[in-house]
Amino acid sequence: MHKVWAQCCIAAFIALLFTRFWLLCVLYAAWWFVDREAPLRGGRRIHVVRNSAVWRHMKDFFPVTLVKTAELDPRQNYLVGFHPHGVLAVGAFINFGTEATGFSTIFPGITPHLMTLPLWFRVPFLRDYLMSAGLVSSDKESAYHVLHRPEGGNLLAIIVGGSQEALDARPGSCTLLLKNRKGFVRVAIEQGSPLVPAFSFGENELYDQVSNPKGSWLRWIQHRLQQIMGISLPLFHARGIFQYSFGVVPYRRPINTVIGKPIPVLKKHKPSDEEVDRVHRKYLEELSKLFEEHKAKYNVPEDSHLEFI
């Protein structure tokens, strides 16, 4: 999703440089430099942007639903692991980057922050929009800033599988890139923030993807491009605007994002690898339990189970 917006923003910025508004671009560039640390300091949310009717229409298109299974105490800060990434992480953005599904009503007193790649905060105009929606940079410094709030009430959502997981996003897939992803667990322990698993049923159903099994030439190229650019480039397709046979418009399939119960974490400044592994195993267990308890409600086959790679 961010890739399309980034291209439009870069094109607009370059085009303005060759008009009589070129001075505005220069002034914006100066402001950009002065404000460069903002994505690491919690961003700059604007409620009018988060409450825009555009996001409510987008939510209704699929539709997207946010499901609560446990209360979150506003006196604490939480770290939410969001799964799966899907192709465009639609559920993560709609639920945590907007108020379309009523996050503030469902979880009163909790302010959501969604992490995204630092790359997007280097794109003119897009960076300001992302911060206005409550998005922050996926740097450790940014995570510490959000979770360090002494009075609590902050929620940091991390799409743990990242863009690499998008390469395995296709209908019916239950594969999560999580087996060796432990950095978010270490951050939670260092900050003493409860871990909350979240699974977005339907996230992988929005697009078909060109076959790219590991070992194939396409997967090799995608992996190399990801190493160079920092983002993955899945070859996906779905429906068109006026026809249903082919296009890049996502299928209209429901997305149900289920937020699990918090996993208590004992704060420790420098946790050992064994301590991180123990909490990580507990997280995997709770995520699997969340998936198994709710999959029947969202038409997931009984024989489908989460696979961690």
Q: Say what the pLDDT of residue 225 is.
A: 87
What is the average pLDDT across 107-135?
94
DSSP string, 64-86: EEEEE-S---TTS-EEEEEE--T
Residue 9 pLDDT class (50, 70, 90 cuts): confident
What does the chain come to in residues?
309
Q: Say what the pLDDT of residue 245 is.
A: 83
Rg from Cα positions in the chain: 19
Burial class (CB in 10 A: 0-12, 13-18, 19+), 246: exposed
Q: What percent of the chain has pLDDT over 70?
A: 98
Residue 131 pLDDT class (50, 70, 90 cuts): very high
Note the pLDDT tens digit of each residue in 228-285: 888 888 999 999 988 888 898 999 999 999 999 999 999 999 999 999 999 999 999 9
pLDDT averaged over every residue in the chain = 94
Cα of first residue to Cα of last residue in the chain, in angstroms, is 25
CB of 293 closer than 8 Å to CB of 195: no
With a CB cutoff of 8 Å and minimum separation 6, the contacts of 266 are 189, 192
Question: Does residue 2 carry a pLDDT above 80?
Answer: no
Question: Does residue 97 carry a pLDDT above 70?
Answer: yes
Distance CA 62, CA 65 (A): 9
Between the CA of residue 128 and those of 8, 63, 286, what are the distances in Å? 14, 27, 36
Q: Which of 196, 210, 164, 180 is nearest to 262 (CA)?
A: 196
| Domain limits, the chain | 1-35, 39-308
What is the average pLDDT across 166-177?
95
Q: Say what the pLDDT of residue 3 is.
A: 61
Q: Say what the pLDDT of residue 14 is.
A: 87
DSSP state of 220: H
Question: Does residue 4 carry a pLDDT above 70?
Answer: no
